[in-house]
Amino acid sequence: MGIFSRSGNDHPAVEPTGKAGGITYDPQLVDRLKQEHQELMRILTEIKKATAQCHFSQLPGLLADFKHVFLNHVGTENVKIYVYMQQHWETDADTLSFVSGVRKEMNEIARVVMKFIDAHLATAPSPVSVMMFNAELEKVGAALQKRMEVEETRVYALYHP
């Protein structure tokens, strides 16, 4: 049992790699992250549907759900993908530079997404503000969709033992 393992078999143990603070390879991680991408897009679709049907009372719950899934996803990626790959590719300057750049971009996108979510959790859209909300939501959704495509086609391909 690893130093970070929990009792029971519900989560695999996180074992050190031999380096201080090292992150190990998780063969199921990419599939889980892709499923989270699908869940994020599903929630965005539900948010769009709620605004289109003027069900503004549903938005706080949907935005809170989105925030929860998004924060967990970004946190997992930051540690289990980006830290791992920075360890794994430390002797390949080009790949390391690419990984670092993608990580920095994701952190910027995450800040924009969180600003959007927090602003609209504080003041939910109304019939008067729904057009502005929808415009912002489209931008956030497009940025996330583009980002997910980059991760799934380029970044996750670099994640291997």
Q: Which domains does the chain have, with CATH numbers?
A: 29-158 (1.20.120)
Residue 115: both structure tokens together: 């600003």
- Which pLDDT does position 21 carry in this prediction? 56
Q: What is the mean pLDDT of residues 141-151?
A: 96
Distances in Å between the Cα of 69 and the Cα atoms of 27, 110, 112, 141, 157 are 21, 12, 16, 14, 23
Burial of 154 (0-12, 13-18, 19+ CB in 10 A): exposed
pLDDT confidence band for 24 (50 / 70 / 90): very high
Report the candidate in 117, 115, 131, 114 with the shortest Cα–Cα distance to residue 59.
117
User: Of residues 13 and 127, which shows the higher confidence score?
Assistant: 127
Whether 125 shows a pLDDT value over 90: the answer reads no
With a cut of 80, say whether residue 81 has pLDDT above it: yes
pLDDT at 13 over 80: no
User: Mean pLDDT over residues 103-109, rounded?
Assistant: 94
- CA-to-CA dists, residue 97 to 25, 82, 107, 142, 146, angstroms: 20, 12, 15, 25, 20
The CB density around residue 21, as the number of other CB atoms within 10 Å, is 8
pLDDT of residue 6: 32
Cβ-contact 51, 43 below 8 angstroms: no
pLDDT, position 89 = 93
Mean per-residue pLDDT, 95-115? 95
Least confident of 11-20, 98-107, 114-123: 11-20
| DSSP 8-state symbol, 6 | -
Distance CA 93, CA 99 (A): 10
Model pTM? Answer: 0.83
Average pLDDT score, the chain: 87
Predicted local confidence at residue 142, as pLDDT = 96
Q: Can you give the pLDDT at residue 124?
A: 82
Contacts 24+ apart (CB under 8 A), 57-61: 57/124, 59/120, 59/124, 59/125, 60/121, 60/124
